[in-house]
A = this chain, B = another copy of it.
Amino acid sequence: MNIEQPPVNRERIIPTGERRGLILVHTGNGKGKSTAAFGLALRAHGRGKAVRIYQFMKVPSARFGEHRVFETLGIPIEGLGDGFSWKSKDLEHSAQLARDGWERARATIEAGEHFLVVLDEIMYPLRYGWLPLEPVLETLRQRPPHVHVVLTGRNAPQELIDLADTVTEMGQVKHHFTAGVPAQRGIED
């Protein structure tokens, strides 16, 4: 895309009324960042659009409820991580997986064959420094203009918020975990 950069805060010129791919960010400490991305994937699939989901913090073998349904529907959903936890000893391995995963996601975005690409929990590897931010921003800026990309996770970098078309902050008003109610299968996973 050869598009001039405006002086303030918007990285692309947006003609009024344009139909084109969007950059959507779901961030904040509350619930619903990933599930809303899954809902968008569902909606786009229902419109006959090609969708692909990459999950930066899930293992490839993850079989949560959403994986089972997406498999049924034929929506590719791919875990790129190694089940990283705060007690992980081999963070360099986690970092390498994130970089390898990003290369796959980047190739999908650039190929332009998908209407919607979900980068679920990409904020983690960005925040940990496993993925440098600038190449991710550059891929988003230079992507085929019809491709929508949804990026989820807490603490979205300001540069990504500046670039995005739509940013939603999912704020936690209250959460059942803090009342001693554990994760509920079918709701949390």
Query: Taking beta carbons and an 8 Å cutoff, which residues of A are in contact with B?
Result: 10, 14-20, 22, 24-28, 30-40, 42-47, 49, 64-69, 72-73, 115-116, 148, 161, 164-176, 179-182, 184-187, 189
Dominant secondary structure at the A interface:
mixed
Q: How many copies does the complex hold?
A: 2
Cα-based distance from A35 to B73 in the complex (angstroms): 17
Instruction: Tell whether, in the assembled complex, residue B19 and residue A182 are in contact, meaning their CB atoms are under 8 Å apart.
Output: yes
Minimum CB–CB distance for A124 against chain B, Å: 19
Known contacts A73-B72, A170-B169: A45-B22 contact under CB 8 Å: no
Known contacts A73-B72, A166-B174: A187-B67 contact under CB 8 Å: no
Minimum CB–CB distance for A109 against chain B, Å: 16
